[in-house]
Structure 1
Amino acid sequence: MPATFNHTIIASKDRNESARFFRDLLEIAEAPSWGPFTNIQLTDGVLLQFAEPPVDVQMQHYAFLVDDELFDRAYQRLREGGVEHWADPQMRRPGEINDEHGGRGVYFKDPSGHAIELLTRPYL
């Protein structure tokens, strides 16, 4: 069997708030949760497990490839929710999206301060 990505743990200040943020943004149904994890499952089966570590949360970058229709709906929710966003990872183009790599992209932070990217075309 070739290697595939199965799951990752995302450190969160409030695991339920973070899971809810991603479920609402990416239109994902609730997934079974257990122990210290609040889980969501992407359509390809990858499990995102949100947990509250006993240390300060260090910023990580997570990028989600979405289709154009979901991008439009998610971007609308970001704007309606007053979520600060940028067209670039350096945060020099506030309030914009980009049209790089033949698609569109946007950067913003989740409730725990992680750098999140939505893009409509893969880089490769």
Structure 2
Amino acid sequence: MQSTTPAHAPTTAVRLDHTAVLARDRRLSAEFLAAVLGLAVGAPFGPFLPVDLGNGVTLDYYEEREQPIQSQHYAFLVPEERFDTALARLEALGVTYYADPHHSDPGRINRLFGGRGAYFTDPSGHNMEIMTRPYVRP
């Protein structure tokens, strides 16, 4: 495949800046994720309610009440020392976490790639993941 990158393209990496996350109730979903990850919900920005992940990426929660919301997957790399705290927050919220993305192994974590990970569902039905090691890519 021939490259379509212009010769004058910048040498800096392309990074995700923000993404919209559809939610039945933007405040409920944003506050849920912020509580689990130990983050803050930002001030509304137009129709969006942001959660800044602290690495230059913002999740902009957008309320969708008319159409069904298709479940998406969002994975969060958390420091090892914050993983147990996130699990404890899920338990305090009464949210079951799972070792697998299909949610068939409740109350357990995985140990993929030498780290720890868990999956859970947010209030709008999105499949969320916390992990302490990034996946190894070939």
Match of 1:29 in 2: 40
How far 1:84 moved relative to its partner? 1.6
Q: Determine the C-alpha separation between the residues in 1 that align with 2:106 and 2:83.
A: 17
The 5-angstrom pairing of residues 35-114 of structure 1 reads 35-53=46-64, 54-114=66-126
Q: Determine the C-alpha separation between the residues in 1 that align with 2:32 and 2:54.
A: 17
How far 1:47 moved relative to its partner? 1.0
Q: Is the 8 A contact 2:99 2:108 kept in 1?
A: yes
Residue 113 of structure 1 aligns to which amino acid in structure 2?
G
Q: Determine the C-alpha separation between the residues in 2 that align with 1:95 and 1:2.
A: 38
| Larger Cα-atom Rg | 2
Q: Determine the C-alpha separation between the residues in 1 that align with 2:129 and 2:67.
A: 24
TM-score (norm 1): 0.94
How many aligned positions are there? 124
Q: Determine the C-alpha separation between the residues in 2 that align with 1:36 and 1:43.
A: 21
How far 1:103 moved relative to its partner? 0.4
Query: SS at 1:121's partner residue?
Result: coil
Structure 1 portions without partners, runs of 5+: none
Residue 31 of structure 1 aligns to which amino acid in structure 2?
G
Q: Determine the C-alpha separation between the residues in 2 that align with 1:115 and 1:6.
A: 21
